[in-house]
């Protein structure tokens, strides 16, 4: 890989890779512990989280592929930032609208904050690339 590209894209690649790993592991954990997690969150037994788990694993795959590119497409990175921001906003709407258990609300909030951190670091990575392009 071109060292100049690698130098400026390093932060974004790491953020996308970390986000992909976290998303995949979260999806796998939800699949494995679906019934337990539903109870932990304080949701009715009929609620299933399998679709969420599969969605997270697909999202993880897209992030992983994006991070593995020689040159990351900035539009793809922006999509990740925007999707993460929607996840965070949606999480807080759900916390207010759904009667989760107290532990469930805290868990959803903590996950949202981690997702927000990924969004911020991805945004910083995009910013670093844009600045390097302006100085080139």
In which domain, by residue range, is 96 found?
Answer: 3-135
Residue the block writes with tokens 């009715």: 44
Residue the block writes with tokens 């690649």: 13
Please tell me the predicted confidence (pLDDT) of residue 4: 53
Please tell me the predicted confidence (pLDDT) of residue 45: 86
pTM score of the predicted model: 0.90
**Helical residues (DSSP H) of the chain, grouped into ranges:** 3-32, 34-41, 50-68, 74-97, 102-135
What are the 10-residue block averages of pLDDT along the chain, 136 residues in total?
68 98 98 96 92 98 96 96 98 97 98 98 96 81
Residue 63 in contact with residue 20, Cβ under 8 Å? yes
Dist CA 80 CA 65 (whole Å): 12
How many domains, the chain? 1
Task: Provide the Cα torsion 36, 41, 47, 51; round to 10°.
Answer: -80
Length of the chain: 136
Please tell me the predicted confidence (pLDDT) of residue 1: 46
User: Phi, psi (5° rounding) for residue 48?
Assistant: -120, 145
Please tell me the predicted confidence (pLDDT) of residue 3: 57
């Amino acid at each position: 890989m071109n060292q100049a590209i690698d130098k400026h894209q390093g932060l974004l690649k790491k953020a996308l890779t970390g986000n992909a790993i976290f998303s995949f592991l979260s999806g796998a954990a939800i699949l494995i512990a679906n019934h337990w997690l539903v109870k932990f969150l304080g949701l009715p037994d009929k609620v299933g989280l399998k679709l969420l788990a599969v969605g997270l694993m697909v999202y993880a795959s897209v992030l992983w592929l994006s991070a593995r590119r020689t040159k990351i497409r900035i539009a793809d990175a922006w999509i990740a930032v925007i999707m993460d921001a929607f996840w965070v906003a949606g999480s807080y709407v759900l916390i207010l609208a759904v009667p989760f258990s107290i532990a469930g609300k805290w868990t959803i909030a903590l996950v949202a904050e981690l997702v927000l951190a990924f969004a911020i670091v991805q945004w910083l990575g995009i910013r670093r690339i844009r600045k390097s392009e302006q100085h080139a």
